[in-house]
């Protein structure tokens, strides 16, 4: 391959120009690079409107960075990537590796189609600091529990951010107009790489100092709010890790980033867990079938203030605080006895940061059928969780207007319930016992 022959950089979950290993590799092979994005119906049909709207915004931001030279096509990648590469006489197609279940199948198909035309397929890096599948036990088997994975992940380490790349972006031979974002009622974050970096630098200058203490407080602005940007690769986790020091907040954030990498690693080794129980004993679990209960949970009308605040935040912002995600998930699975995958689908429909590995495996962690070593005894009490993590009731009052007249932490245990706010739909103490009994049935069977 000569540096005169152009190459294609196919953007997927890496919608940025900075710290981009695949772009750097492409620049080493050629000074002429075509920037390509494929609107793939297989992925778009699985994505909720908030995520699609944010994606379209990120594509517009990337196109602006490229001076209007992002080629956007619509169709089957195995056809469209080959067509784009042949149209410019490309010697290779460069990508950030996709280790998700669909991405692996799609990329194998595209690489095969390119090979038939003598075009190289080059994978460099991934959306993770450590590509899924790289961190394994000494015997080569995958980790099943987070804590030893975390130790091994830290010991393994990751590269420094990729150097800036200088290329001449090839004018697209043809291109679709980037679609207008679908209408959504949720208020979404500003899209794009610069927006991601602005959010990150504001966090470094502010909330990082108290992140270890405040990250579980939904009433405070104590988290990074970077999950939508990480989802689409507007910023790489390697960029974040390079900026972290040895402070307590930095250590806590490294651990949270590792959770994201652990779930991606689990899905790499066990792709079926995107839809099936990690722990197969839970295939025998008894679930209720109560559409009305599910709809009340979706609408934030359960009568449990912290649960309802979280579900309404999801609808209003396409995002929910992580602590509250665990509380509402526990309520669905262990108080309403509905299957985890129904909640996971609802989240993926509404979350702007919806990520298959993180979403599905976090739901399984809460449900008890995932990777945790002692899972099913953990049943979140929505009353005590609210009192502990929203101690002044500010989070609840922000998202549940019916309760704004209730002062302080009294908002969590309502003695004088406003008429507009529903009574608790279940008794938590009773449903906890039901859940434990059902878990006991499957865990004691041989």
The model's pLDDT over 158-189, given as tens digits with 9 standing for 90+, comes to 999 999 999 999 999 999 999 888 889 999 99
- Give the residue carrying structure tokens 């559409």: 291
Question: pLDDT category, 291, cuts 50, 70, 90?
Answer: very high
Q: Give the closest residue to 21 by CA, choosing from 104, 176, 129.
A: 129
> Considering the chain, what is the average pLDDT of its residues?
96
8 A C-beta contact, residue 266 and residue 135: no
Q: Is it true that domain 7-126 has CATH number 3.40.190.10?
A: no
pLDDT digits over 327-362, tens only?
Answer: 999 999 999 999 999 999 999 999 999 999 999 999
Please determine, for residue 261, whether its predicted confidence score (pLDDT) is greater than 70. yes
| pLDDT (mean) for 116-140 | 97
Indicate the annotated binding residues: 211, 223-227, 353-355
pLDDT digits over 53-85, tens only?
Answer: 999 999 999 999 999 999 999 999 999 999 999
Structure tokens at 93: 């197609």
Contacts of 105 (CB under 8 A, 6+ apart): none
Query: How far apart, in whole angstroms, are the C-alpha atoms of residue 240 and residue 197?
Result: 10
Query: How far apart, in whole angstroms, are the C-alpha atoms of residue 49 and residue 46?
Result: 10
Please determine, for residue 446, whether its predicted confidence score (pLDDT) is greater than 50. no
| pLDDT (mean) for 22-51 | 96
Q: Give the closest residue to 212 by CA, choosing from 172, 252, 175.
A: 252
* pLDDT above 90 as % of the chain: 95
Structure tokens at 39: 């609107």
Q: Please provide the size of the chain in residues.
A: 446
Query: How far apart, in whole angstroms, are the C-alpha atoms of residue 59 and residue 179?
Result: 9
Contacts of 78 (CB under 8 A, 6+ apart): 106, 109, 110, 112, 113
Query: How far apart, in whole angstroms, are the C-alpha atoms of residue 429 and residue 415?
Result: 18
Handedness of CA 113, 115, 119, 121 (dihedral sign): positive
CATH of domain 193-269: 1.25.40.80
What pLDDT, on the 0 to 100 scale, is given for residue 444? Answer: 75
CATH of domain 280-441: 1.10.579.10
Ordered by start, the domain boundaries in the chain are 7-126, 193-269, 280-441
What pLDDT, on the 0 to 100 scale, is given for residue 90? Answer: 98
8 A C-beta contact, residue 412 and residue 383: yes
| pLDDT (mean) for 10-23 | 98
What pLDDT, on the 0 to 100 scale, is given for residue 445? Answer: 60
What pLDDT, on the 0 to 100 scale, is given for residue 3? Answer: 59
Question: pLDDT category, 373, cuts 50, 70, 90?
Answer: low
Q: What is the dihedral of CA 68, 70, 75, 81, to 10 degrees?
A: 150
Indicate the annotated binding residues for FAD: 211, 223-227, 353-355
């Amino acid at each position: 391959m000569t540096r005169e022959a152009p190459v294609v950089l196919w953007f997927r979950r890496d919608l940025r120009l900075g710290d981009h290993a695949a772009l750097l590799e492409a620049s080493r092979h050629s000074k002429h690079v075509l920037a390509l994005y494929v609107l793939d119906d297989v992925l778009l049909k699985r994505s909720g409107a908030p995520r699609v709207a944010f994606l379209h915004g990120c594509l517009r931001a990337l196109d602006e960075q490229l001076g209007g030279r992002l080629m956007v096509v619509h169709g089957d990648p195995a056809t469209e990537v080959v067509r784009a590469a042949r149209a410019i006489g490309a010697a290779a197609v460069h990508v950030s590796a996709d280790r998700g279940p669909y991405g692996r199948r799609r990329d194998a198909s595209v690489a095969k189609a390119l090979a038939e035309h003598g075009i190289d397929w080059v994978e460099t890096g991934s959306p993770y600091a450590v590509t899924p599948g790289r961190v394994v036990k000494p015997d080569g088997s995958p980790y099943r529990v987070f804590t030893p994975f975390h130790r091994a992940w830290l010991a393994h380490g990751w590269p420094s951010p990729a150097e800036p790349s200088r290329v001449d972006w090839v004018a697209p031979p043809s291109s679709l107009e980037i679609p207008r974002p679908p209408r959504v009622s949720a208020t979404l974050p500003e899209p794009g790489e610069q927006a991601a970096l602005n959010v990150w630098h504001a966090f470094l200058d502010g909330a990082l100092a108290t992140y270890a203490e405040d990250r579980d407080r939904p009433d405070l602005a104590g988290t990074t709010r970077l999950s939508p940007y990480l989802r689409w690769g507007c910023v790489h986790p390697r960029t974040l890790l390079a900026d972290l020091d040895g402070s307590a907040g930095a250590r806590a954030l490294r651990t949270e980033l590792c959770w994201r990498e652990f779930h991606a690693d689990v899905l790499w080794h066990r792709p079926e867990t995107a839809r099936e129980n990690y722990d197969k004993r839970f295939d025998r679990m008894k679930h209720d079938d109560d559409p009305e209960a599910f709809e009340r949970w979706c609408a934030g009308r359960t009568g449990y203030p912290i649960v309802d605040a979280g579900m309404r935040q999801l609808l209003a912002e396409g995002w929910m605080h992580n602590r509250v995600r665990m509380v509402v998930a526990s309520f669905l699975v262990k108080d309403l006895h509905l299957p985890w995958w129904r909640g996971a689908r609802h989240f993926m429909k509404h979350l702007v940061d919806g990520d298959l590995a993180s979403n599905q495996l976090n739901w399984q962690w809460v449900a008890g059928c995932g990777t945790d070593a002692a899972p099913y005894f953990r049943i979140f009490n929505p009353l005590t969780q609210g009192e502990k993590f929203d101690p002044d009731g500010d989070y609840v009052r922000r998202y549940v207007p019916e309760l704004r007249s209730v002062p302080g932490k009294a908002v969590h245990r309502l003695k004088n319930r406003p008429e507009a706010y529903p009574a608790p739909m279940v008794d938590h103490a009773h449903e906890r016992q039901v859940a434990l009994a059902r878990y006991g049935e499957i865990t004691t069977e041989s």
